[in-house]
Amino acid sequence: MVIALSVIGSVMFMNAAFGATLRSIQDKVDINVNFVPDASEQEIFDLKTSLEALPEVAHVGYVSREEVLADFREKHKDQVNLQALEEVGGNPFGARLNIRAEDPSQYQGVADFLGNRNTSISGDQIIDEVNFLENKEVIDRLSKIINSTETFGFGLALLLIIISILITFNTIRLAIYVSREEIGVMRLVGASASYIRGPFVFTGITYGLVASLITLIIFYIGTFWLGDLTERVFGSINIFEYYISNFGQISLVVVGSGIIMGAVSSYLAVMKYLKS
């Protein structure tokens, strides 16, 4: 029972780790909207407000012309590009918006929206470049990876849970097999099915409760030991901090699973001998 509950709990930790990794990757993928130097801040902020109103947009960051110039100087301080910039003089760059969507598959819709909002009131273009096409291959590949990972994770979790339930059921059935003669005698003296089944179901529930407590202790020790390692590997999640902050939910799942598996397995196992 402890092994079965450990598998179920480990699936929760695995999903949390995969989810954190995918979110950290998604946060690094965005599209940039570079404006022409003549675009007014009012027009840029109006477009920013319109973008933030879209349900598929998670965040829109504004970078001023001065910050764009400073970033360029920092990135190219030892290159010929900086010398060319000095010869041009002034600030040839426009402001920039960094857009992050809720899901990578939604960037196409954001790009289409920008294409329809590329002119000012006077009819002049205010957007110089949208780097969606440059990042499209990366975004599409990321979308496929996320979808494949989520499908694989769900399938693996379902498989492990089914295996753990079958192991628990067969183990309890073997334990009750020892008492098959006792069950037969009780039936002969006229005991009701619920009277015979009750102690076994109660024992199964007790096994589930005790096993869940042992499992939660094992998780505490294991996650405490692996916390720093998971933070280094997955980047944005410390499995021990996740366990502590979500202890209520995890304990509810583990204890509930232990009680249900113990009760249902005992009920089904005894039913076989009641029918025989």
Going by C-alpha positions, the residue among 86, 68, 4 that lies closest to residue 253 is: 4
For the chain, the DSSP string reads: -HHHHHHHHHHHHHHHHHHHHHHHHHHT--EEEEEPTT--HHHHHHHHHHHHTSTTEEEEEEE-HHHHHHHHHHHTTTSHHHHHHHHH-S-----EEEEEESSGGGHHHHHHHHHTT-B-TTS-B-EEEETHHHHHHHHHHHHHHHHHHHHHHHHHHHHHHHHHHHHHHHHHHHHHHTTHHHHHHHHHTT--HHHHHHHHHHHHHHHHHHHHHHHHHHHHHHHHHHHHHHHHHHSS--HHHHHHHTHHHHHHHHHHHHHHHHHHHHHHHHHHHHH-
CB 44 within 8 A of CB 126: yes
Please state, in angstroms and as integers, the Cα–Cα distance from residue 240 to each residue in 46, 168, 181, 246, following that order: 44, 27, 48, 10
The phi and psi torsions of 158 (rounded to 5 degrees) equal -65, -40
Q: What is the CA radius of gyration of the chain?
A: 30
* pLDDT-derived band at 216, boundaries 50, 70, 90: very high
CB 265 within 8 A of CB 205: no
Which residues sit opposite 61 in a β-bridge?
A: 98
- At residue 85, the pLDDT reads 60
5-9, 156-160, 206-210: range with lowest mean pLDDT? 156-160
> Is a pLDDT exceeding 70 seen at residue 223?
yes
Where do the domains of the chain lie? 2-22+142-275, 29-139
> Is a pLDDT exceeding 70 seen at residue 266?
yes
Percent of the chain scoring above 70 in pLDDT: 87
- At residue 252, the pLDDT reads 93
* pLDDT-derived band at 151, boundaries 50, 70, 90: confident
Q: What is the pLDDT of residues 43-87, one digit of tens each?
A: 888 888 888 888 888 888 898 888 887 887 777 666 655 566 666
Percent of the chain scoring above 90 in pLDDT: 10
29-139: CATH topology: Alpha-Beta Plaits (3.30.70)
* Mean pLDDT for the stretch of residues 34-45: 84
* pLDDT-derived band at 193, boundaries 50, 70, 90: confident
> Is a pLDDT exceeding 70 seen at residue 197?
yes
127-136, 192-201, 219-228: range with lowest mean pLDDT? 127-136
- At residue 206, the pLDDT reads 92
